[in-house]
Amino acid sequence: MVNDVLNKISLSVQTFRTHRLRSFLTALGIIIGVSTVIAILSLIEGLNRSVAEQIQSIGSDLVFLSKSPIVLAGPQNIEEIANRPDLTPDDALAISELPSVEIAIPDISQRLNKLKYRDKEIANVRIRGTTEKFSSVNNRFIESGRDFTKDDVTHRRSVCAIGSYVAKNLFPDESPVGKELNVRGHRIKIIGVHREKGAFLGQSMDNMLVIPYTFYEKIYPSRGESVFERAFFGYSIDIKPKKGQVERVTDEVRELMRRRHRLPFDKKDDFELGTQQMLMEIYQNITRVGFIAIVAIAAISLVVGGIGIMNIMLVSVAERTREIGIRKAVGASNQNILSQFLVESVFLALVGGVIGILLGLLLAWLISIVSPLKASVSFWMVLLGFGFSAAVGIFFGIYPARRAAGLNPIEALRYE
Amino acid sequence: MTKGRETICRALDIHKTYWRGKVAVQALRGVTLEIRTNDYVSIMGASGSGKSTLIHILSCLDTPTKGEYFLEDKLVSSYTDAELAGARNMFFGFVFQSFSLLPRLTAIDNVALPLVYAGVKKRDRNQRSAEILKKIGLGDRINHRPNEMSGGECQRVAIARALVNTPKVIFADEPTGNLDSKTGSEIMEIFDRIVEEGNTVVMVTHDSNVASHAKKIVSLKDGLIDGE
Ligand SMILES: Nc1ncnc2c1ncn2[C@@H]1O[C@H](COP(=O)(O)OP(=O)(O)O)[C@@H](O)[C@H]1O
Ligand SMILES: [Mg+2]
């Protein structure tokens, strides 16, 4: 039995060798299909992983209170959002008094196009105004120096803790602690460096300056008066619930904020409450679209590849009609012929599958080198690529194989 | 006819009708024939008289439209496809006019082909095939491909292939038809020797010189036997 299969495989290898170019072209559909799927799957998997890691490193089920929705779903009235009352550090203070809340901090940020230190320069640094509790909410740790304190916040001290990206790029050869940065004409003293956090959805979480929000208000006395700026450039509040209290937190915060904004019961909320769960869901919706796209690509290219295989197998059956006749005349049964051609089409599909898998891995690797996306390859993807190409080989090989098996030996022998 | 020899094949009132569109071609119209161990039968007749059709049916390469055909008392029409393939594999060897070798296989692999389907292990296949090629005088052509051999050599490879699985009957359809007369008589000598060794041979020919080698001549005319 094993002997028999090996025999047929070696026959397939022979056929493949004799028609190298033709076989390769036939396998191309499968190669393209499988490689696309493998590449995209491993990129999505990489994304999933870094998101999961990120969420784990944030650590708890945070609740976010903000003026504007995290994602604008559909057409929303920006004017309406802009006219909502701003959230304030006082709101954060009031929220932190709630029974289900462990910590609540104000969080406001801007992007700096450039940040310089002597001859070094980095771009797109996020400057973030918050309180001394920022690190414990976000599971950040100070690697060198110290974090700023409550005292620094009350006294509006011009101090900052910097992310590891900033440290590495502006201070490659020296300790940043004690050095001074200049932001919009303000000198800020670096007092601590955060441990590296990695990237979130391709964005570095380490390209960041964390400063007391009191000092932030000094750097940015107003956030601008355009509709866009009013809608999106204010405070939001990061809330860390007590253990297992996420549900209660949302209810309590909603009630409190409606009271603070004096909203009558028939009016809608004029703020947005989001949980990490919701963030995850939004993210999952995005990747789901990716998955559906993959399934479509995979289906189409595998069908195209499969038709290619069927076509070439039919040609092969026609070309080898005499061979089939001879084999039958010396004792090959229909079953023998059927399995020979089936092994051949599966072999062809698997060669395509293997090349596709390798190409897909290479592609994913290249993408993760030239872009911030990370690829992550799992064994199941390789198995999937293998399984799919084998299935295509069987499905599209069965018809030509049956045609070969059903040939009458005499007519096959007479065929020229 | 020699008595006491075992009957291998028994064909009773065999008919074969081909259809060319709506026109029926009656290739065989009621042939009754017996083949016994160590027979050397020659089937003669004009072109189109149904000789090939007859031995195709006898060798289980084709099935009759009407009539009964028994292999060692078993009715062939009751055979499954796998049993028919088994009969072609173990009961019969077939030598075609056009050699019908696989062009990409070497002589030894061509000869071993029936053994592949008989499930013989590769080492035994090679040993048996090499032996028989040597016996037939092709010991130095074992690894040649058909296009590297002469017509006579090819036909000898085909005979070796027909013999390799020790069949009960060897059928040959005009085995000398594609060969010059000298090579043809060499091939006929091989058949004579095969029969001397106890084998059974049924050979189609329209050449009376060739037919004269046989111990029994069946002549066909328009799908009917008109003389034995
Ligand atoms: N597949 C076929 N379809 C139609 N007619 C056929 C077929 N095979 C043989 N015949 C016809 O059957 C008759 C007998 O053919 P055949 O057995 O090949 O004769 P022979 O071998 O004696 O020359 C001929 O008339 C031939 O044309
Ligand atoms: Mg003929």
- Say if residue A265 is in the same domain as residue A287: no
User: Is the predicted pLDDT of residue A86 greater than 80, yes or no?
Assistant: yes
- Say if residue A123 is in the same domain as residue A238: yes
The CA distance from A415 to A210, in Å, is 83
Q: Kindly report the average pLDDT of chain A as a whole number.
A: 88
The CA distance from B116 to B122, in Å, is 8
The CA distance from B171 to B168, in Å, is 10
pLDDT in tens, B42-67: 999 999 999 999 999 999 999 999 99
pLDDT in tens, B137-169: 999 999 999 999 999 999 999 999 999 999 999
Residue B8 phi, psi dihedral angles, 5° rounding: -95, -50
- Say if residue A333 is in the same domain as residue A403: yes
pLDDT value at residue A45: 81
**Ligand 1 site: residues with CB under 6 angstroms?**
B 18, 20, 25, 27, 45, 47-53
pLDDT value at residue A73: 57
Alpha-helical regions (H) of A132-245: 134-137, 150-154, 164-170, 213-219, 227-232
The CA distance from A105 to A119, in Å, is 35
The CA distance from B24 to A402, in Å, is 28
Closest Cβ opposite residue B89 in set A322, A331, A335: A331
pLDDT in tens, B108-136: 999 999 999 999 999 999 999 999 999 99
pLDDT value at residue A332: 95
User: Is the predicted pLDDT of residue B1 greater than 50, yes or no?
Assistant: no
Query: Which residue range forms the structural domain that includes residue A20?
Result: 2-53+282-414
Q: Is the pTM of this model over 0.80?
A: no
**What is the torsion angle, in degrees rounded to the nearest 10, for the CA atoms of residue A236, residue A241, residue A247 and residue A253?**
-40
Point out the ligand 1 atom lying closest to the alpha carbon of residue B49.
22
**DSSP per-residue string spanning A23-92:** HHHHHHHHHHHHHHHHHHHHHHHHHHHHHHHHHHHH-S--EEEESS-SS--SS--HHHHHTSPPP-HHHH
Task: Give me the half-sphere count of Cα atoms (radius 13 Å) on the Cβ side of residue A338.
Answer: 12
Residue A198 phi, psi dihedral angles, 5° rounding: 90, -165
Give the residue from chain A lying closest to B56, CA to CA.
Answer: A410
Q: How confident is the model at residue A77 (pLDDT cuts 50, 70, 90)?
A: confident
Put simply, the answer to whether A409 touches B100 (Cβ < 8 Å) is no
Query: Which residue range forms the structural domain that includes residue B183?
Result: 38-64+80-227
Classify residue A269 by its DSSP letter.
Answer: P
Using a pLDDT cut of 90, give the percent of chain A over it: 54
Q: Is residue B2 part of a domain?
A: no
Q: Is residue A238 part of a domain?
A: yes
**What is the torsion angle, in degrees rounded to the nearest 10, for the CA atoms of residue A308, residue A310, residue A314 and residue A317?**
120
Q: Determine how many CB atoms are found less than 10 A away from the CB of residue B170.
A: 22
Cα dihedral sign for A224, A227, A233, A234?
A: positive
Using a pLDDT cut of 90, give the percent of chain B over it: 88
User: Is the predicted pLDDT of residue B8 greater than 70, yes or no?
Assistant: yes
**CATH number of residue B105's parent domain:** 3.40.50.300
The CA distance from A91 to B114, in Å, is 90
The CA distance from A111 to A88, in Å, is 20
- Say if residue A354 is in the same domain as residue A315: yes
pLDDT value at residue A224: 80
Q: Is residue A36 part of a domain?
A: yes
List A residues 209-268 in contact with B (Cβ-Cβ < 8 A). none
- Say if residue A23 is in the same domain as residue A81: no
Q: Kindly report the average pLDDT of chain B as a whole number.
A: 93
pLDDT value at residue A132: 95
User: Is the predicted pLDDT of residue A60 greater than 60, yes or no?
Assistant: no
Q: Is residue B13 part of a domain?
A: no
- Give how many domains chain B has, as a whole number: 1
pLDDT in tens, A193-202: 999 887 665 5
User: Is the predicted pLDDT of residue A238 greater than 90, yes or no?
Assistant: yes
CB A401 within 8 A of CB A338: yes
